[in-house]
Amino acid sequence: MHRPPIKFCKQCGSAVVYRIPDDGDTKLRAVCPACHTIHYENPLNVVGTVPCWGDKVLLCKRNIEPRFGLWTLPAGFMELNETTAEGAARETVEEAGAQFVMQELFTLVNVARVGQVHLFYRAQLTSDQFDPGTETIEARLFLESEIPWEEIAFRTTRVTLEQFFADRSKGEFGMHHIDV
Amino acid sequence: MHRPPIKFCKQCGSAVVYRIPDDGDTKLRAVCPACHTIHYENPLNVVGTVPCWGDKVLLCKRNIEPRFGLWTLPAGFMELNETTAEGAARETVEEAGAQFVMQELFTLVNVARVGQVHLFYRAQLTSDQFDPGTETIEARLFLESEIPWEEIAFRTTRVTLEQFFADRSKGEFGMHHIDV
């Protein structure tokens, strides 16, 4: 994800400077020399689901960049005023138009180099009919043997799917903490 | 947490307007009419630990607002370029000057009304000597019977401590997903 440096103060519009604030902080922050606002930049959460229908898993073919045309689990940036599970459910509706029951948290995947934490929940589909939104070319169910491993959009999706099939073969789903 | 509205574009300094972007988004965003930057506002992660020494748990008495003088588990905002566990360990060093071994993720607590997700890891202290930083008045070990429940700073700390003692009495620690 592209995060350009902050150039101007969001509160007063003055040009900011990057320096260590005087409040005991130890990190460089964009500080406003006029109104003294400190602009913190923090990691973002990406929330999504592993939606299942019998032996099959739902993937979405991306209609947007990055990774246009590649396959992913339904997921997106968590918004204000929602919980992690609510955000994961919202993205599953938006990207796949799926009907489902939310289940347990399945993976927490740290992607520190881009400042993201990905959280995937298992979800039980209640229909095999989908109505994907504009961000998705196609929403489709895959058997494990059909997963297009060479066309998976993101590493977080890949490790979550790998863990899902590993757990399923053991007959027990855990909660997995992964750094990629 | 106070999140004032964005008034000026962080890229070009122009006054922003709050509107729904033209890219298929459905939410109001601060959009720059000059350079077209969209300013997203997303939840923040707070990461911390439940540090244990025998039957005791380490709490820190806050030397900063909010909740100055009240007790909390060591925790703070996750930074860029770290994982959730690395952030939790960093905060435990900064706030308590503790020595410890990190253990499993213990709670994920959604605080949707303030746009936060709190993640607490269990940690095994390797010393009962602490060297708290400037954000902490005192770092001290408490037996369950000594926990100052009326002086706990945050609800996320409270539910995490309650779950910790409940799990300990059962002899098994799980991973708990809580909305407060």
Cβ atoms B119, B108 nearer than 8 A? yes
Reading chain B (180 residues) residue by residue, the pLDDT tens digits are 557 899 999 999 999 999 999 888 889 999 999 999 999 999 999 999 999 999 999 999 999 999 999 999 999 999 999 999 999 999 999 999 999 999 999 999 999 999 999 999 999 999 999 999 899 999 999 999 999 999 999 999 999 999 999 999 999 999 999 999
User: A80 and B7: CB-CB below 8 Å?
Assistant: no
Residues of A in contact with B14 (CB under 8 A): 13
CB B29 within 8 A of CB B102: no
Among B6, B80, B110, the residue with its CB nearest the CB of A42 is: B80
The closest of B118, B92, B106 to B168, measured between CA atoms, is B106
Residue type for B83, please? T
Residue A8 to residue B7, Cβ atoms within 8 A? no
B104 vs A177: CB contact, 8 Å cut-off? Answer: yes
Q: What's residue B3's pLDDT?
A: 79
Residue B176: partners with Cβ closer than 8 Å, 6 or more residues away:
B106, B107, B108, B163
Q: Which two tokens stand for residue B122?
A: 């269990």
User: A31 touching B, CB under 8 A?
Assistant: no
Q: Strands B71-72 and B38-39, how do they pair?
A: unpaired
Write the ipTM.
0.94
